[in-house]
Amino acid sequence: MDEHESDNKSRGHGYKKGHEDSKEELLEQYYAQNTGPGKKLTDDAGFKISNDRWSLRAGKRGPTLFQDFHFYRKQSHFSRERIPEKVVHARGDGAYGEFELYKSMKHVTKAHFLQEPGSKTPVFVRFSNFIGSKGSKDTAIDIRGFATKFYTQEGNYDNLALSFAIFAIMDAMKFADFTHAVKPNPRTGVPQATIAHDNTWDYVANNQEIAHFIMWLMSARGRPRSWRMMGGWPVNTFRFINEQGKSTFVRFKWEPVLGVHSLLLDEANIIGGVDPDFHRRDLHEAIECGAYPEYELGVQLIDEEDQYNYDFDILDDTKLWPEEVIPVDYIGKMTLNRLVDNHFAEEEQSSFDPATVVPGIDFTDDPVLQGRSFAYRDTDYHRLGTANINNIPVNQPIVEKNTNQRQGVARHRIDVDSVNYHENSLAGNTPAETPPDEGGYAHYPEKVDGHKTRERPGESFYDFFSQPRLYWNSLSPVEKQHTVETFNFHLSYVQSKSVRQQVVDMFANVDKGMATAIAEHINVNPPKGSNVPVSASSPALSEANTPHYAYTQKVGVLIANGFHGEEVRSTLDFLQHCGVFMDIISERFGMVTGSDGTTIEVTDTFTATYPVLYDSLYVVGGKADNEAKFMQDVMEFVNMAYKHYKPIGVATTGQSCIPMSKKNNLAGVVFAANNTDFGEDFVAAIAQQRFWNRT
């Protein structure tokens, strides 16, 4: 094992020299290691540095000399280490993996990576928040980005998804206005990473096409538990094109294998302060432990001739395609199994563009997609400062590139051709075009006619409330309650009573009872209108119907000396066997010792961790040096977990930590005393995740 390989393995990145992953092989040539035995510090030009600690001065106490080029180069490079931050989706993280196809889609698309079942395609995925700056928090109430770059044998394909099935606008013309409205106030620069301010809700009330988007944002979907437990929808309508040239409309969906799960509003707000990197840390921990995040790719298909058969326009991005009407066919699974080696070089410089497609995937006249197909590349020309975006290693395709494009900032490729134009005779008219029947990209020859206009594409684009009503009808009673609470939280920060009233009147169109409850909380008049007459629901939209597992749920083990060794060790071993993540929390680092001499290493202390960071607690208890402080810390954890409806396992030595009264029913609290099935019962409770019937 060479030094580089050893270094990467020690960091849990799974790097192996000569790995069969073709993208990893491409990246390997760019890996460099600056540290290790025999490594000497050099300038970027290659000469060795004799002193990297003190600048060159005129006399011992004199001024720095201009001729100290090493200081100049070091400082000037540092001054340029930052590139322009993304206007949206600034805060994120990414990982590599692979996509394996379940079933051939040859009947609808000629895309090479969707032809042969069992075929694998390397991918890079970036998760991100929409609103906040790069320095904001992971758990903000926000829509998330879920961008996937497929490194296919026909070139890169970028699948840009969001964590909602719908978007906020109907036409790309409004994107700048929407973004301005959700960003901090331009006069004060606050608030950061939240829509709890007047400008956003003024925009909402006066641009009511956003109603469906806001319903998703105010629901649990706006605060995912983990990127590993978050769905993804590209929201736009694309075309599949097969070998015969037949077009089929398609929307994509990413479904997490672990199910879709969320934080409570209170949890999200607290975690944002105590661990702003919560989602990043969660992703790293899972991959480093080998609990690789998995997502199934689904497609919804509509034949060209059936596009007008629905009560919504299939090109309207504020409308979803109900799964009960247009079923999702799951065609493959993506597994993320490797972290980046350098956050800036790979994650920060990654570039995604919905116009990066391969033969067999094409655009529609979706008004938002039409604008996005221009905006993304244009944005990254500015942000990355070069036209050579796809020369950056993370963005490079795994196939050969032959272009007539030359020069530009950061052009590392050395093109040795004397001819750089098309058509030519000096180079035999190469690089040559490839006919569509041999794999060249060709757009679908859709017939287009009509007058130039700024009209909406169809009457159903004016229906702002039928699908938000469908969404509301689909939520469980608990989800509805949490949605109202999230509305109340955000609107409580809105100073303008007029805006608050407009919002309440607007959302009466979705549900009058919901709007009335909000009105009572924010001190405005009850709405006069009523909701649209839609009674349909979609069970697929409720998190109550998502899969639940104990696997990778995180348990905080609260422990001190004197615990029952055999009981606790057996429980911890069983939790580990079930793939549960655990932190051993006590008053200080070191070892805790059971009554039978069993020792367990402490990984975290009460001083440096918080109850909201855990999905469940295992209360072991015991005898601490500072018994009063230990019990105070344990009770703080127990009370918070109980308040948030989380499962709690209680060892025989921990029963005194669970206060019992006629006022609590202890739903979701599992006791080890006199319970031979404690391990199984506790894991079942962990899998359930929340006990909404708790009192």
Contact call for residues 612 and 644 (beta carbons, < 8 A): yes
CA gap 228, 496 in Å, rounded: 38
Look at the block and give the residue holding tokens 């479904």. Answer: 255
Tokens of 484: 């109202």
Look at the block and give the residue holding tokens 């719908």. Answer: 166
Which run of H or E residues covers position 152? strand 144-152
Residue ranges of the domains in the chain?
39-81, 92-395, 548-688
**pLDDT at residue 410 in the model:** 87
Contact call for residues 89 and 130 (beta carbons, < 8 A): yes
Instruction: From residue 633, give the alpha-carbon distance in Å to each of 448, 616, 619.
Output: 68, 16, 11
Contact call for residues 315 and 367 (beta carbons, < 8 A): yes
Those residues with Cβ within 8 angstroms of residue 642's Cβ, 6 or more apart along the chain or in another chain: 648, 664, 669, 694
- Going by the annotation, the residues of the binding site are 126, 175, 372, 376, 383
**pLDDT at residue 77 in the model:** 87
Averaged over 119-137, what is the pLDDT? 98
Those residues with Cβ within 8 angstroms of residue 549's Cβ, 6 or more apart along the chain or in another chain: 258, 259, 687
- Going by the annotation, the residues of the binding site for heme are 126, 175, 372, 376, 383
Contact call for residues 263 and 193 (beta carbons, < 8 A): no
Residue 662 confidence class, pLDDT cut points 50, 70, 90: confident
Those residues with Cβ within 8 angstroms of residue 285's Cβ, 6 or more apart along the chain or in another chain: 581
Arithmetic mean of pLDDT over the chain: 95
Which run of H or E residues covers position 215? helix 211-218
Fold of 548-688: Rossmann fold (3.40.50)
C-alpha neighbours within 13 Å on the C-beta side of residue 507: 30
What letter represents residue 120's amino acid?
A: K
- The DSSP line for 629-670 is HHHHHHHHHHHHHHHTT--EEE-GGGGGGS---TT---TTEE
How do residues 202-250 score in pLDDT, each as one tens digit?
A: 999 999 999 999 999 999 999 999 999 999 999 999 999 999 999 999 9
CA gap 100, 117 in Å, rounded: 8
Tokens of 492: 């409580």
Averaged over 399-419, what is the pLDDT? 92
Q: Look at 87-96, 116-125, 396-405, 596-605 and tell me which has the smallest mean pLDDT.
A: 396-405
Averaged over 372-401, what is the pLDDT? 93
Tokens of 428: 């035999």
Q: Backbone dihedral region of 190: left (phi > 0), alpha (psi from -120 to 50 degrees) or beta?
A: beta
**Residue 511 DSSP SS3:** coil
Compare 10 and 635 and report the one with higher pLDDT.
635
**Residue 157 DSSP SS3:** strand
Do the strands 581-586 and 604-605 form a parallel or antiparallel pair, or are they unpaired?
parallel
CA gap 235, 11 in Å, rounded: 36
What letter represents residue 450's amino acid?
A: G
CA gap 222, 166 in Å, rounded: 13
Q: How far is CA 95 from the centre of its chain?
A: 11
**pLDDT at residue 135 in the model:** 96
CA gap 582, 25 in Å, rounded: 35
Residue 20 confidence class, pLDDT cut points 50, 70, 90: low
Q: Look at 397-406, 468-477, 572-581, 684-693 and tell me which has the smallest mean pLDDT.
A: 397-406
70-101 as b/e: b if 16+ CB within 10 A: bbeebeeeeeeeeeeebebbbbbbbbbbbbeb
Tokens of 170: 């109907």
How do residues 477-524 score in pLDDT, each as one tens digit?
A: 999 999 999 999 999 999 999 999 999 999 999 999 999 999 999 999
Question: Dihedral sign, CA of 445, 450, 455, 459?
Answer: negative
**pLDDT at residue 202 in the model:** 98
Short-list 172, 216, 174, 173, CA closest to 195: 216
How do residues 412-439 score in pLDDT, each as one tens digit?
A: 889 999 999 999 999 999 999 999 999 9
Whether the per-residue pLDDT at 6 is higher than 50: the answer is no
Whether the per-residue pLDDT at 8 is higher than 80: the answer is no
Averaged over 598-614, what is the pLDDT? 98
| Beta bridge partner(s), residue 94 | 126
Averaged over 648-658, what is the pLDDT? 96
Residue 4 confidence class, pLDDT cut points 50, 70, 90: very low
Q: Look at 36-40, 307-311, 529-533 and tell me which has the smallest mean pLDDT.
A: 36-40
**pLDDT at residue 5 in the model:** 41
C-alpha neighbours within 13 Å on the C-beta side of residue 24: 20
CATH of domain 92-395: 2.40.180.10
% of the chain with per-residue pLDDT over 70:
97
**pLDDT at residue 17 in the model:** 38
CA gap 642, 663 in Å, rounded: 13
**To the nearest 10°, the Cα dihedral for 561, 643, 215, 281?**
-10
Tokens of 229: 């437990």
Specify the length of the chain in residues. Answer: 695
* Torsion angles phi and psi, residue 669, rounded to 5: -100, 120
Those residues with Cβ within 8 angstroms of residue 673's Cβ, 6 or more apart along the chain or in another chain: 650, 652, 655
